[in-house]
Amino acid sequence: MIESVHSGAACRWLHETLETLPLIRYPFDREALPINGVYFVYEEREIWGHGGIRPRIVRVGTHRDGNFRKRIAEHFLLDVSKMEFDATKPAPKDRSIFRKNIGRALLRQQADPYLEIWNVDLTGANMRKRCAARRDIAREKEIESAVTRRIRERFGFRVLPVDTENERLGTSGLERACIGTLAHCPSCRSSESWLGRQSPVEKIRNGKLWLVQHVTAVALTAEQQQRLCELLG
């Protein structure tokens, strides 16, 4: 039965409903994952606020058509050759905003001045050329390794197969509504030890999700909840 779309009730409903899906932890077989979907990330030691000790969703993500496996591989750095970068190439954090945000929080926690360089988007050749003299590639690889360990050891995810891009993305997409549901829940909060509290990004530091986009979105409607149930089968 679909509950009220009040943000707290919808948040509890979303958590409970998604628990019918398997929780995937590293290591996992990328080829066994769906081609398309909306994924929900859980972080060790983060607990929901609706009673008991169920894990709390800390991130929701999706992708363009056919790109889900690649997106997850970038977050968990499944292709270790991506660590063979130099000053002429972007680091893994520039292909994953999730990795970048974890690194930002780790660096701010340590009051590390390299945060200034870590923040720069180096996907473009012109920016890489401008920043080449300031980059410490050995240091970046240390940070990337720390991020990889953190994600692989402390995070897991569930994925809801959603084949249609319009259902995943956009102003009426499930990703946006699920983020809004979680962000507005009055019961769920970050723990005192949550790494996100160290983030230099205000919306993360003062929130409870590793996200900036869609945190002000409207919560799931009753129709969207019904559709999510249909997708679960």
Ranges of H-type helices in 35-157: 68-76, 97-109, 115-118, 125-131, 137-154
- What are residue 60's phi and psi, to 5 degrees? -125, 140
- Give tens-digit pLDDT for 157-179: 999 999 999 999 988 899 999 99
Q: For residue 158, how many C-alpha atoms fall within 13 Å in the half-sphere facing its CB?
A: 18
Write the CA distances from 12 to 39, 143, 216, 225, integer angstroms: 17, 35, 18, 12
Beta bridge pairs of residue 159: 39
* pLDDT lower than 50: segments of the chain: 1-4
pLDDT score at 220: 95
SS3 38: strand
- Give tens-digit pLDDT for 4-15: 456 799 999 999
**CA distance linking residue 158 with residue 56, whole number of Å:** 12
pLDDT score at 43: 98
SS3 3: coil
pLDDT score at 174: 97
What's the whole-model pTM score? 0.95
**CA distance linking residue 98 with residue 39, whole number of Å:** 13
Mean pLDDT of the chain: 95
Task: Decide: residue 111, CB within 10 A, 0-12 exposed, 13-18 middle, 19+ buried.
Answer: exposed
**CA distance linking residue 23 with residue 41, whole number of Å:** 9
pLDDT score at 6: 65
DSSP string, 137-196: HHHHHHHHHHHHHHHHHHEEEEEEE---HHHHSSTT-HHHHHHHHHHH-SS----TT-GG
pLDDT score at 3: 42
Beta sheet of 55-61, edge-to-edge order: 24-25, 155-161, 37-47, 55-61
* CA R_g for the chain: 18
